[in-house]
Structure 1
Amino acid sequence: MHKFGDVILGGIFPINYYTASSEQYFTSEPKDPICYGFDIQGFRQAQTMAFAVDEINRNSKLLPNISLGYSLYDSCVKLGISFRAALSMTSGRGEPFQLNESCYGYPPLLGIVGESTSTHTIAISSILSLYSLPMVSYFATCSCLSDRKQFPSFFRTIPSDAFQVVKQNVTGLQWIASEAWSTAKVLHSPSYMPFLAGTLGIAIRRGEIPGLRDFLLTIRPDNDTLSTQDNTLVKQFWEHIFRCKFVSGWMEMEGSGPFKGQSCARLQGLEPWQLVYYLQRVNFTTDFGDQVSFDENGDVLPIYDVMNWRWHPDGSTVVTNVGDVKEMAAKVIDLNLDEDKIFWNFESKKPPRSVCSESCPPGTRIAIKKGEPVCCFDCIPCSDGKISNGTDSTECTSCPEDFWSNIQRDQCFPKSKEFLSYVEPLGISFTTASLFGALLCTIVLGIFTHHRTTPVVRANNSELSFLILLSLKLCFLCSLFFIGKPRLWTCQLRHAAFGISFVLCVSCILVKTMVVLAVFKASKPAPNENTEYYSDRIVVECVVGSTVGFGVLLGYIGLLAVLSFLLAFLARNLPDNFNEAKFITFSTLVFCAVWIAFIPAYINSPGKYADAVEVFAILASSFVLLLALFGPKCYIILLKPEKNTKKALMGRGSPRS
């Protein structure tokens, strides 16, 4: 197929795909091989090039005042014929055709479009490159053709082979197809579908070229403008409809050209190596949005359609477009998939899972397995106080000081504050006991006040008894300062009230000023949030202030208690009616035992349990003193009034041995 023009482009297409030659007996010159077997795809490609040339000639913006022509040859899918066609065109010995209305001749060829196979293209381009003659292939995908040293003038409009398939076990696999067979209808048969259904593959980018369909439909056998040879091919082509593309062109202004003296290539004397320069800088966008340009190796930016094979129950197969993949100018791969359209050839109809490790969920971190691929790893839960709030985290982060990790280890939350609360069972018990003890002291005080003139009350130093009852009531009530969230005023008062109350109770002398002086001469106590006992919570407690001062206070109270115990023990042989020594001995003995046990228990108890131990000691010793000292008296006053007389009290009993 030939068309005259100011610039002629060659083309090599597989119009036929079989060759035959006469038998050779070496007695005469061999005859040319005969091509037969019509290749519809090759014919479609040749016609598309012809259409592209016509479109360029009609567009005055592309090549003004310049017309393109073409000289297209059949390769018969035979290397020898392809090679012969290329050499014929480049050497000027090709088939002559009508150059103008009055003469025939050989066209001045500047470049060749072809070939359709990598093997043929490698052979032809290696020769054309010696003369810097550009060759643009539309179907040769071998990556070896990207070697600019071997093929300096080679370009192609199809990406090189990349996206390879290794056949292993054909059952139970989702196939990934290369462009060579991703749309091959010969495989769309029921015998293959159990293995190939769901195949995902890349296919050469298809586009709707405006006007090409109408152009192909004008190629009719009754068209008088066709030559006899063309008419024969058209008869085989007539009922087929095709889609393809090929666009090319350049334009520059004189005075800003790339050649010597900033000159441009002129139509008269245009050299093939100049065309190579322009081809290297081709950059345009097609009508359907695809960018076309060549990289430094002459390769076009790869654009593929992603195809998916869907097998219907009736045995039919449909190959659908489920996305595309492009390489952008910045070497960034842009993959777009419509996952809802993909058919997965698995029982679950869902995408296959990785054969190695699942993603690590929040709350865990990745731990690479030694000696295995990086995609194989274990998911290690974050330790206490650390979290990870994303998938596949490489490390866990520590929570802030006042925060702690939740059970899932994916969030930090404020640490709970622990103290002896009024609402917990222990606090409720202590509060109830404290109030009950204070109420009991009030009742006893009321009894003593009502019977203050009776001998039992008057004979036992009623003023000191009232003072002891008042101090005991304070002892019961001071335990309330140890319950509830520690605050500044409760921390400052709790040990002062405790010291004053118990010093009054044990000594019954002027100790108030001494204890206040001992307590408040020490450093001032205050609330404190302690994080040393537990790592996951904060213990809110009171700072004692001066440990030495608190120890002195306890030592002083203990000294008074021991002295009271010794004096009471020595007075145990006094007459029974006047003798309280046995009650004082018992009460102080228990009192001392409680506080001796309190000291190690208090030291070894963390947080709120230290407060609980102190409250227990206060309440226990207070109840012992109240019951031991005032229980017998209340018994006589309330239940044995006959003994609450001066005569009964003055009666002498036999001394104990």
Structure 2
Amino acid sequence: MCWFSCLFTLWPSSAPSLLLVGLVGRQLGLRVGLQCVETVSCSRWGTPDSQSLLKDGDVVIGGLFTLHYEPPAIDNDFTQLPHYKPCTGTGGFNLLIDFLSFLLFCGLSLENVPLQYIHAMVFAVEEINHSTMLLPGVKLGYHILDSCGRPPWALQTALSLVGGDNAMCSSTDSPDSILSRTLGPLSVPLISYLSSCPCLSNRRQFPNFFRTIPSDIYQARAIAQLSIRFNWTWIGAVVAKNDYGLVAIKEETQGAGVCLAFVETLQRENIVSDARRAALTIQASTAKVILIFTWYTDVRELFLQLAKINVTDRQYLASEAWSTSGDLLQNVVSTKVAKGVFGVAIRSSIIPGFENYLKWLHPIHRPEDEFLREFWEAEFGCSSGKGSLPLCSGTESLERVKNHFTDISQLRVTYNVYLAVYAAAHALHSLLSCPDRESSPGNNSFSCSSPKDIKPIELLQHLNKLNFTTPQGELFYFQGADIPAKYDLVNWQNTPDGSLKLVLIGRVDGFDLHLNESAIQWSTGYNQVPTSVCSESCPPGSRKANRKGEPLCCFDCIQCAEGEISNTIDSLHCELCPHEFWSNAERTACIPRQLDFLSFNETLGITLTTAAVSGAAVTTAVFVVFLYYRQTPMVRANNSELSFLLLLSLKLCFLCSLVFIGRPSVWSCRFQQAAFGISFVLCVSCLQIKTIVVLAAFRSARPGAGALIRWFGPGQQRGSVCFLTCVQIIICATWLSLSPPVPQRDLGFQGSTVTLECAMASVVGFSLVLGYIGLLACTSLFLAFLARKLPDNFNEAKLITFSMLIFCAVWIAFVPAYVSSPGKYVVAVEIFAILASSYGLLLCIFAPKCFIILFRPEKNTKKHLMAR
């Protein structure tokens, strides 16, 4: 168990009157075992007559630090009352042996030397005493004691400074919470410079606790912010198996988009096996960024295990417990596996004049300073008259000594001690001054209260309202128990000689990160930020699809469907484009849908145009043949006038299909349906009259039916065709005048194009046009079927029957095809029906006749035609 203690006790020189305590413990979830065996029987700890540093004053500040580490004499096995040896320096203040072993056990950086903390307190007190603005007329003193690294001593020494007894009972708790709970009923404030456990921020449980170091929750939150900033969504975590590590895990998992690939815990009792297990997990993980939130000694063992299995390509995020560790920086193993460490550190600051103060320290000038004397003996190997060491010559000086005690390059914890003293002084100043009353002219004494009248509860109230500017120009105040979060961001960088150095690359102020990214040296040795993701980011045009049973950071990228877009990285959803827009090929933007219609330039349009023109050309050729051979029996026997009219109507049918191709306009939409309807009615009516003439001709040969043929003479035939055609003309005229087809964009079809089509404003009109054609076709088919077996070779009823069967089949299939076809293919279906039915009529009726006329002229005789 490792912790530091600093007790600031303020009391008048005559008798104790109030207490300001600054206990510092690296608690972070650690627990200390102070057992009270019986409620009426408490253990004896000995007398607090160990080494101390004392200076009188109007108000004396008591400080409790851990300068020696005294392990427990016996194990607390609950078989006997625990007993603790007095905390003395009998073992000698050996900086390189005793103190170093204590630092290594505690897992703290070598620069964190408590002797420097002690003299930071002494320096601050002397600086305040020389100030004319802060506590004028009041002289501060100090009384500094050694806690020996044991919670019982911290309690006893603290209570002895406020007049407590040597016998104490306490329950199992953490050091700061023990003191806070014990001194809470006395309203004695405690100020800590190194206790960062978030639990101590609870004002209900610890109303008298303050600290000059931010809560650990803020550094964990800062690391989470860094993970998000550099897009490290997939990181591993190696943490201490206590509240310290749990805080880090909680803040990391709460970071938006950050997932933990694994969490390994380290326990000091099993550090070797735990570190080996964690190293193997790091080696097997795909996470390239590893958060290490634990103590220095744990990290040292972890790096050793990583070096054994040659894991050297990971980027480590460091907590302030080891990010500034000089021992780790100088370790050869660290240079192999821990290049580019990026960490959060206790903020550093300068203390003007403190360097000269340390260099001019000498036991001769401070004979009462037992701590300095012991350090001097350990540093120079001589004594000032006590002990077995040879006498010092008097020429020894710290001016040219380079060690952690004299090093002020990074005053982190030391500066927190300095701030704690100033916080106590400003609270006293606020308490002893009276800004609401006017002091007598020339009277420098305080008019409201004197140092002898200090009450702890009043001092506690003034600490809660504390607000002042430090000598370094920073605004200082407490937010409950805490101060605003301020950290340094540090980076371990390579030096030319192959070692590592600590480089300041940014700061954290509250929730704001100030970072010089260009100054960072990453684990790769380059300025390129390492990548640590479970899945690569989804580019624009796709969306994230979570994998079942895996963390949110593990996902697949699914391309947006047609008509949907995403224009951001890692989009969760694809957005649907508006009706008149469609997604581009990359699915990143909605673009206007292209206007589409059946044009003459595309393959389908060219094919249909070719078929229509060919049909018209063939029809014209047949017309020419019939005209040339108009006097032959084959032409004359089949009602040549109706045949020529039929050929003309077929040519119009072929040509009317061309009106459907091209960009629809108001007039083309009207004309195409009218041309289609009238042309086909003219064609079918001709066939119907030809069939009726055939039937009439054979019926007239029967007795009493001679007058029947007179009703179907040439004039009646022409009149019947005109009448039937005029009915269709009236239907089309009515339809087009009331509710004609109009050009319209079809937005219902989901595609990159918008079809420009002739929309049927009135389905009834179009249905009447088709229905009338169908009625005539069915009638013609019925009549032709009746006349199919009539004798004579000139009977063309069979040909009409086959042609009308094809015609009806085409238009029956047309209806479902027309309804189900999308976009411009609706027009293509209608054109195909027109052409197919026209070709059917042309080939079935005229192909056999042309074959006889051109290739079998011997059959084109009256004798052959009259043969039965």
> Aligning the two structures, in what range does the TM-score lie when normalised by the shorter sequence?
0.7 to 0.9
1:186-201 → structure 2 map (5 Å cutoff): 186-187=327-328, 188-191=330-333, 193-201=335-343
CA distance in 1 between counterparts of 2:86 and 2:622 reads 142
- Tell whether 2:677 aligns with 1:499: yes
Residues 125 and 437 from structure 1, CA distance in 2 versus in 1: closer, same or farther, beyond 3 angstroms? closer
CA distance in 1 between counterparts of 2:678 and 2:671 reads 10
Provide the residue aligned with 2:464 in structure 1.
Answer: 280
Q: In structure 2, which of residues 340, 343, 352 is the aligned counterpart of residue 210 of structure 1?
A: 352
After alignment, is 465-474 or 374-383 more displaced? 374-383
Map Cα deviations across residues 56-100 of structure 1 (whole Å, 9 max, x no partner): 45554444x34442314241635476556544543499xxxxxxx
After alignment, is 607-616 or 227-236 more displaced? 227-236
Residues 649 and 272 from structure 1, CA distance in 2 versus in 1: closer, same or farther, beyond 3 angstroms? closer
- Tell whether 2:318 aligns with 1:176: no
Residues 557 and 615 from structure 1, CA distance in 2 versus in 1: closer, same or farther, beyond 3 angstroms? farther
SS at match of 2:867: coil
Contact 1:136–1:156 (CA under 8 A) maintained in structure 2: yes
Q: How many Å apart are 1:494 and its aligned residue?
A: 1.9
Could you tell me which amino acid in structure 1 is paired with residue 772 of structure 2?
A: L
Q: In structure 1, which of residues 31, 34, 37 is the aligned counterpart of residue 93 of structure 2?
A: 37
Q: How many Å apart are 1:37 and its aligned residue?
A: 1.0
SS at match of 2:502: strand
Provide the residue aligned with 1:103 in structure 2.
Answer: none
Contact 1:175–1:200 (CA under 8 A) maintained in structure 2: no
Provide the residue aligned with 1:73 in structure 2.
Answer: 144
CA distance in 1 between counterparts of 2:832 and 2:551 reads 63
Q: Structure 1 length as normaliser, TM-score?
A: 0.73
- Tell whether 2:504 aligns with 1:321: yes
CA distance in 1 between counterparts of 2:199 and 2:448 reads 32
Could you tell me which amino acid in structure 2 is paired with residue 69 of structure 1?
A: L
Contact 1:404–1:412 (CA under 8 A) maintained in structure 2: yes
After alignment, is 561-570 or 167-176 more displaced? 561-570
CA distance in 1 between counterparts of 2:780 and 2:663 reads 32
Of structures 1 and 2, the one with the larger relative CO (CA 8 A, separation 6+) is 2
1:308-387 → structure 2 map (5 Å cutoff): 308-310=491-493, 316-326=499-509, 328=510, 333-336=511-514, 341-344=520-523, 351=530, 353-354=532-533, 362=540, 363-367=542-546, 369=548, 386-387=564-565
Contiguous gaps of at least 5 residues in structure 2: 1-52, 74-84, 96-111, 166-172, 221-238, 241-264, 267-273, 283-289, 294-318, 380-397, 438-446, 687-720
After alignment, is 561-570 or 630-639 more displaced? 630-639
1:544-563 → structure 2 map (5 Å cutoff): 544=760, 545-546=763-764, 547-559=766-778, 561-562=780-781
Could you tell me which amino acid in structure 1 is paired with residue 660 of structure 2?
A: F
Q: In structure 1, which of residues 138, 156, 165 is the aligned counterpart of residue 211 of structure 2?
A: 156
SS at match of 2:214: coil
CA distance in 2 between counterparts of 1:521 and 1:392 reads 59
1:221-620 → structure 2 map (5 Å cutoff): 221=362, 226-227=366-367, 229=369, 232=373, 237-238=398-399, 239=401, 240-242=406-408, 243=411, 244-245=414-415, 246-247=418-419, 248=422, 249-250=426-427, 254=434, 256=436, 266-267=450-451, 269-284=453-468, 292-296=476-480, 298-310=481-493, 316-326=499-509, 328=510, 333-336=511-514, 341-344=520-523, 351=530, 353-354=532-533, 362=540, 363-367=542-546, 369=548, 386-404=564-582, 411-413=589-591, 419-441=597-619, 464=642, 467-508=645-686, 509-510=721-722, 511-522=724-735, 523-527=739-743, 529=745, 540-544=756-760, 545-546=763-764, 547-559=766-778, 561-562=780-781, 565=784, 569=788, 573=792, 579=794, 581-582=795-796, 585-586=798-799, 589-605=802-818, 606-607=821-822, 608-620=824-836
Could you tell me which amino acid in structure 1 is paired with residue 487 of structure 2?
A: Y
Q: How many Å apart are 1:562 and its aligned residue?
A: 2.9
Residues 559 and 54 from structure 1, CA distance in 2 versus in 1: closer, same or farther, beyond 3 angstroms? same
CA distance in 1 between counterparts of 2:830 and 2:155 reads 107
Contact 1:171–1:195 (CA under 8 A) maintained in structure 2: no
Contact 2:781–2:805 (CA under 8 A) maintained in structure 1: yes
Could you tell me which amino acid in structure 1 is paired with residue 119 of structure 2?
A: Q
CA distance in 1 between counterparts of 2:672 and 2:94 reads 109
Q: How many Å apart are 1:392 and its aligned residue?
A: 4.8
Map Cα deviations across residues 575-633 of structure 1 (whole Å, 9 max, x no partner): xxxx4x44x75366225413323322442351344433432332344345556766788
Could you tell me which amino acid in structure 2 is paired with residue 597 of structure 1?
A: V
Q: How many Å apart are 1:279 and its aligned residue?
A: 1.6
Provide the residue aligned with 1:9 in structure 2.
Answer: 61
Map Cα deviations across residues 97-116 of structure 1 (whole Å, 9 max, x no partner): xxxxxxxxxxxxxxxxxxxx
Residues 654 and 470 from structure 1, CA distance in 2 versus in 1: closer, same or farther, beyond 3 angstroms? closer
Contact 1:255–1:264 (CA under 8 A) maintained in structure 2: no
Residues 558 and 334 from structure 1, CA distance in 2 versus in 1: closer, same or farther, beyond 3 angstroms? same
CA distance in 2 between counterparts of 1:481 and 1:31 reads 114
Q: Structure 2 length as normaliser, TM-score?
A: 0.57
Q: How many Å apart are 1:157 and its aligned residue?
A: 0.9
After alignment, is 611-620 or 308-317 more displaced? 308-317
CA distance in 2 between counterparts of 1:216 and 1:352 reads 45
Residues 525 and 84 from structure 1, CA distance in 2 versus in 1: closer, same or farther, beyond 3 angstroms? closer
CA distance in 1 between counterparts of 2:827 and 2:181 reads 95
Q: State the Cα RMSD in Å.
A: 4.8
CA distance in 2 between counterparts of 1:612 and 1:459 reads 38
Map Cα deviations across residues 398-457 of structure 1 (whole Å, 9 max, x no partner): 443445556766555555665433222221111122233334555666788899999998
Residues 567 and 131 from structure 1, CA distance in 2 versus in 1: closer, same or farther, beyond 3 angstroms? closer
Residues 653 and 88 from structure 1, CA distance in 2 versus in 1: closer, same or farther, beyond 3 angstroms? closer
CA distance in 1 between counterparts of 2:179 and 2:785 reads 124
SS at match of 2:332: coil
Provide the residue aligned with 1:106 in structure 2.
Answer: none
Q: How many Å apart are 1:255 and its aligned residue?
A: 6.1
Provide the residue aligned with 1:110 in structure 2.
Answer: none
Q: How many Å apart are 1:256 and its aligned residue?
A: 4.6
Residues 147 and 347 from structure 1, CA distance in 2 versus in 1: closer, same or farther, beyond 3 angstroms? same
Could you tell me which amino acid in structure 2 is paired with residue 364 of structure 1?
A: R
Provide the residue aligned with 2:3 in structure 1.
Answer: none
Could you tell me which amino acid in structure 2 is paired with residue 176 of structure 1?
A: I
Map Cα deviations across residues 466-490 of structure 1 (whole Å, 9 max, x no partner): 5444433321210012223444433
Contact 2:799–2:845 (CA under 8 A) maintained in structure 1: no
Q: How many Å apart are 1:515 and its aligned residue?
A: 0.9
Provide the residue aligned with 2:33 in structure 1.
Answer: none
CA distance in 1 between counterparts of 2:482 and 2:679 reads 98
Q: How many Å apart are 1:271 and its aligned residue?
A: 2.6
1:43-82 → structure 2 map (5 Å cutoff): 43-57=115-129, 59-63=131-135, 65-75=136-146, 77-79=148-150
Contact 1:285–1:292 (CA under 8 A) maintained in structure 2: yes
After alignment, is 123-132 or 482-491 more displaced? 123-132
Could you tell me which amino acid in structure 1 is paired with residue 831 of structure 2?
A: V
Residues 622 and 151 from structure 1, CA distance in 2 versus in 1: closer, same or farther, beyond 3 angstroms? closer
After alignment, is 512-521 or 5-14 more displaced? 5-14
Residues 456 and 32 from structure 1, CA distance in 2 versus in 1: closer, same or farther, beyond 3 angstroms? closer
Provide the residue aligned with 1:656 in structure 2.
Answer: 867
